Amino acid sequence: MDDFALTNQSIDVVAWRRRLDHPQAGGLAIFEGVVRNHHQGRAVRHLDYQGYAPLAVRTGSEILATARGRWPLLVALGCHRIGHLDIGEAAVWIGVASAHRAEAFAACAWIMDEVKARVPVWKRETYADGSVAWAQGSVVRLDPPG
Amino acid sequence: MAALDIVFAMPVPGSSGVIQLTVLYFAHLRDQRGLDSEIVSTTAADAQSLYRELAARHGLSLPEKSLIVAINEVMVRWDAPVHAGDTVVFLPPVSGG
């Protein structure tokens, strides 16, 4: 399995968690982004994500590799969901394992920030009144900081 | 017109000025174009000319400064050349997470 995946199925958080197991690990930091029922004061009914799969996997894998170079990580993994998501479903999952917690927290947060900034995935919100809008999003930087 | 015969008999890719490539659309641009992907015949030599041509042809509204270009699954600059057979994607602002 790839270290970073794009899936149109429910993210199997138990299976991803199992892949963090490492005998030298003293801490695991996991971030699970879930679909909330509101955005900027508007009631959200559900989300639909699109993704450019080959570039999303490549970009996500590059982010994980950069994180492994910046922190002494034992394992670093990520997965982003695409397709139709209802309230409460996991949209993104990031997990890292390291010997100590400080680097696990720091790397997990950094990876998530980079995923939001660079991985080609787009979120469309459907509101309670039935109207839809693409989330504002971030313009991708061509040359991210190493 | 022997010279013309040679041109038609041995076309060099791009020499006629028209190439065919694949464009994929996502998010806002997919909505505006009404397609996930298409084969485009173009005389554009680089990504920027291609986007301007498509934007004019199909009323794509996103400004270039809000997009980044990927050619064959690699993010590139706007002045990157396009070639026959390339897959070109204009990526709107991303909103994962």
Neighbours of A58 (CB within 10 A): 19
Residue pLDDT, tens place only, A112-146: 999 999 999 999 999 999 999 999 999 998 876 55
Read off the pLDDT of residues B8-49 as tens digits, 9 standing for 90 and up. 444 455 456 899 999 999 999 999 999 999 999 999 999 999
**Inter-chain contact A52–B66, Cβ cutoff 8 Å?**
no
Mapped onto helix, strand or coil, the DSSP state of residue B2 is: helix
DSSP helix/strand/coil, A55: helix
Domain that holds residue B33: 2-8+18-91
- CB-based contact (8 Å) between B61 and chain A? no
Which of B45, B44, B27 lies closest to B36, judged by CA? B27
- Tally of domains in chain B: 1
Bridge partner residues of A124 (DSSP) = A48, A134
Let me know if residue B96 belongs to a domain: no
| Residue B35, in any domain of the structure | yes
Which site among A140, A141, A142, A143 would you substitute to test the B interface, given the most B Cβ atoms closer than 10 Å to its Cβ? A140
Examine the pLDDT at A85 and tell me if it is beyond 50: yes
At residue B7, the pLDDT reads: 43
Give contacts of A118 with chain B, Cβ < 8 Å: 94
For an interface test with B, the pick among A62, A94, A122 (most B C-beta atoms closer than 10 Å) comes out as A122
Q: Does B55 touch chain A (CB under 8 A)?
A: no
**What CATH number is associated with residue B55?**
3.10.20.30
| ipTM of this complex prediction, to 2 decimal places | 0.93
Residue B13 lies in a domain: no
Q: What is the DSSP string of A80-143?
A: EE-EEEETT-EEEEEEEEESSHHHHHHHHHHHHHHHHHHS-EEEEEEETTS-EEE---BPPPSS
Mean pLDDT of A82-92: 98
How much is the average pLDDT of B58-76? 97
Q: Which two tokens stand for residue B21?
A: 């490539």
First to last CA, chain B: 62
B31 in a structural domain: yes
